Amino acid sequence: MTGSRRWAVAGLVSGLAGLATSYAVALLLTIRESPVVAVAELVVRMTPGFVAERAIRLLGHADKPVLVVTVILLTSLMFVIVGWLGSRSWRWSLLAWLALAGFGLFAVLSHSGARATDALPVIVGFVTWVVCLDLLGRRVKPAPGADDDGRRRFLTTAATIGAGAAGVAVLGRFVGAGKRRVEESRRLLRLPGITRREPPVKTRIGVDGITPWRTRPEDFYLIDTTIAVPTITASDWRLRIHGLVDRELTLSFSDLLDRELTEAWITLNCVSNPVGGPLIGNAWWSGVRLAALLEEVGVQAGADAVLQTSDDGWTCGTPLSALTDDRDAMLAVAMNGRPLPLEHGFPVRTIVPGLYGYVSACKWVVDLEVTKFSDFSAYWTDRGWSEQGPVKLSSRIDVPRSGADVPAGDLRVGGIAWAQHTGVEKVEVALDGGAWTTAEIADPGTDDTWVQWAATVSVTPGDRILRVRATDKTGFVQSSALVDVVPNGSEGWHGVDFTVQDA
């Protein structure tokens, strides 16, 4: 191994050792963001909306792991370059370490709610880089006539540093179990007055393969910008309500539970959901109505919005009218009768029927500022999405699946349709562009959830296409024109193609 290659290896090993120790320190101090996570989230915050949308569409739930891996790979390449600089001048490698540490420090401290202690993992990582590169650099050049011995010493030292760094990372993982601490507090949390409601029988249409009317938390879609899920115990959570109000209010979790609770079946869906897509779910939510809290603080004249802020710094702007009318807009504390899962916003999140999540569904919510739309812009509106996001009427075919083979004869088809806070009046299906057939609808007894629908169509052998459309309770009929998800949600009829076989 040549000298320049050893320096490159020394830079890589030193760099990875620094990442390991910074990660361990972040876990030991229960700091939510390690420097790698902070850099990844900085990338998320700086990514243009159309790029983020394409990444979500292409990678789905793998978008964040892919981003973190990419950050690590690019950072590793920088470590190799720093090591190579060390073969030229120790001063250049030191300046490169300082530049990398400075960028990491910027990423950490630019996060909303960052504290001075959040810089400690970066500082420890930087010290590790310098010490390890110096230690390995002393072994890069062997004594004259002892190249094999020098190579062995270098590789032994590199392996020892690598093993030690891995051990430190594992130790930090086990000792600094901030997430496990919050999970345990969640498991032991008792929520008086919260019920576990079973779905009403009338909500089920009775066709095998249709999406269940109630979505299990583990099946509920997840779309957010955070890389590391915020870990907040119920006892540590605080919510500040301020801005254009007569009286500011700061609530603890126990303060929230002391107020009157509301519970409701509510469907949530993401504005990034394509026609026929899966980014939608329905659950039994429990919490405190936001209308009551806003009445308590006294909203001042001229206010038309509430800027919500999450513990991870994400923001959304919600129309004030949607939080103060008769819908069950709430600060939710439970999902399907149990405390919110961490990834779904524990201990408190916002639920607003009839609005897409990007303007309403703030997980890990810690701040509500009553304000005006003209005075702010939020995370997704900064990236090209519309200011207000009412849910659009839509429908989906679940049975049959696209590409399925079915027998000839009468075919039972079904799916779901939704128009939250407006309600679905009618669902129709059409086979091969023919006449529309009215489907049966299972009435959920509320306009804030999806509905299951089913119909029977007669099919003959050959390739077939089935399409669906819905009509809401205002008489609006779902349009056939295909509209992309940007800037305020997709539109168009969902269709599936399938093959009918001889019976």
**In whole angstroms, what is the distance from residue 252 CA to residue 386 CA?**
33
* pLDDT computed for residue 492 by the predictor: 97
Question: Residue 250 in 3-state DSSP?
Answer: strand
486 φ/ψ angles, rounded to the nearest 5 degrees: -85, 135
Question: Residue 297 in 3-state DSSP?
Answer: helix
**Residue 22: partners with Cβ closer than 8 Å, 6 or more residues away:** 34, 35, 36, 104, 121, 122, 124, 125, 128
* pLDDT computed for residue 1 by the predictor: 53
Instruction: State the number of CA atoms in the 13 A half-sphere of 228 facing the CB.
Output: 22
* pLDDT computed for residue 426 by the predictor: 97
- 405-407 β-sheet, strand order: 405-407, 494-501, 462-472, 424-431, 436-438
Angle 152-158-164 from CA coordinates, rounded to 5°: 130
Question: Residue 229 in 3-state DSSP?
Answer: coil
Angle 395-495-393 from CA coordinates, rounded to 5°: 20
Residue 313 token pair: 């710094």
202-383: CATH topology? Sulfite Oxidase; Chain A, domain 2 (3.90.420)
* pLDDT computed for residue 26 by the predictor: 80
* pTM for this prediction: 0.78
394-501: CATH topology? Immunoglobulin-like (2.60.40)
Q: Helix-strand-coil percent breakdown of the chain, rounded to 5?
A: 40, 25, 35
**In whole angstroms, what is the distance from residue 83 CA to residue 23 CA?**
21
**Residue 27: partners with Cβ closer than 8 Å, 6 or more residues away:** 34, 172, 173, 175, 176, 177, 178
**In whole angstroms, what is the distance from residue 500 CA to residue 298 CA?**
62
Amino acid letter, residue 210: I
Question: Which neighbouring-strand residues pair with 192?
Answer: none
Tens-binned pLDDT, residue by residue, of the chain (503 aa): 566 788 888 888 888 888 888 888 887 666 666 788 888 888 888 888 777 777 777 877 788 888 888 888 999 899 999 988 888 888 888 899 899 999 989 988 887 667 777 888 889 888 988 888 888 877 665 545 555 566 777 777 777 877 777 777 676 666 556 677 788 889 889 999 999 988 887 888 889 999 999 999 999 999 888 877 888 999 999 999 999 999 999 999 999 999 999 999 999 999 999 999 999 999 999 999 999 999 999 999 999 999 999 999 999 999 999 999 999 999 999 999 999 999 999 999 999 999 999 999 999 999 999 999 999 999 999 988 999 999 999 999 999 999 999 999 999 999 999 999 999 999 999 999 999 999 999 989 999 999 999 999 999 999 999 999 999 999 999 999 999 999 999 999 999 999 999 86
| Domains of the chain, residue spans | 3-176, 202-383, 394-501
**In whole angstroms, what is the distance from residue 108 CA to residue 339 CA?**
30
Q: Cβ-count burial of 468 within 10 angstroms (0-12 exposed, 13-18 middle, 19+ buried)?
A: buried
